[in-house]
């Protein structure tokens, strides 16, 4: 069952960030934070209906807006326009007034919330499935390479053994050839001696 999503906010660098996730841990991972911003008081669960609506419409997606402004959150936000003179602190002071004038929070659309949670869970499962497929493909490739390496090693070993045996046989052939030549020379000499003796006996 899909876990209920909550909307979390923080400020990093030049942007306010918002995201709809099932947990603070998931939000921190999506923001790429290397420390617990919630424990530090730098992040919180949002109660702004506009922020919640924007985040729930894009579950699991990090939304941005220039830091300290009231602009709508979006996936691709422009940098603040007043970076040169006074920095973001002016924008923060200016933004306090309009925030006090915001209408009272609207009730969260339960249907939209459930749909956002379902979309988030579906996207999470899709990413996990894709990662599992990629890992299976990598494992298959590793096994294929291991099989190739094993077969190549067996072939190399067999070739070395063959070369060793062929060399031994060749050495035996050369030794037999040498023995054969020596035997022929001995026989030629012996035959000549015996034939000479035969001729002398015949007178």
Q: What are phi and psi of 6, to 5 degrees?
A: -125, 155
Residues 41-99: tens digit of each pLDDT: 889 998 889 889 988 888 888 899 988 888 888 887 777 666 554 444 444 444 444 44
Predicted confidence at residue 82, as pLDDT, reads 60
CA distance 8 to 158: 65
Return the percentage of the chain with pLDDT > 90, whole number.
34
What DSSP state is assigned to residue 74? B
CA distance 8 to 43: 7
Q: Kindly give, in sequence order, each residue whose CB lies less than 8 Å from that of residue 12, ignoring residues fewer than 6 positions away.
A: 31, 33
20 near 60, Cβ under 8 Å? yes
Instruction: Report the alpha-carbon angle 111-46-88, nearest 5.
Output: 135
Res. 170: pLDDT tops 70: yes
Predicted confidence at residue 106, as pLDDT, reads 52
pTM for the model stands at 0.41
């Amino acid at each position: 069952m899909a876990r209920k999503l909550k909307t979390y906010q923080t400020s990093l660098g030049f942007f306010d960030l918002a995201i709809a996730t099932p947990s603070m841990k998931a939000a921190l991972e999506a923001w790429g934070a290397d420390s617990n911003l919630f424990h530090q008081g730098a992040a919180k669960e949002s109660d702004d209906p506009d922020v919640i609506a924007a985040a729930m419409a894009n579950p699991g997606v990090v939304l941005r807006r220039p830091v300290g402004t009231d602009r709508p959150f979006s996936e691709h936000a422009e940098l603040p326009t007043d970076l040169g003179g006074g920095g973001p602190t002016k924008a923060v002071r200016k933004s306090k007034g309009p925030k006090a004038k915001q209408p009272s929070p609207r009730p969260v659309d339960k249907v939209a919330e459930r749909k956002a949670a379902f979309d988030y869970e579906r996207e999470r499962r899709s990413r996990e499935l894709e990662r599992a497929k990629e890992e299976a493909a990598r494992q298959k490739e590793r096994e294929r390479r291991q099989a190739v390496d094993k077969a190549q090693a067996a072939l190399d070993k067999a070739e070395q053994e063959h070369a060793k045996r062929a060399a031994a046989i060749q050495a035996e052939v050369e030794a037999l050839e040498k023995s054969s030549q020596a035997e022929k020379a001995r026989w030629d000499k012996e035959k000549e001696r015996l034939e000479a003796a035969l001729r002398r006996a015949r007178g």
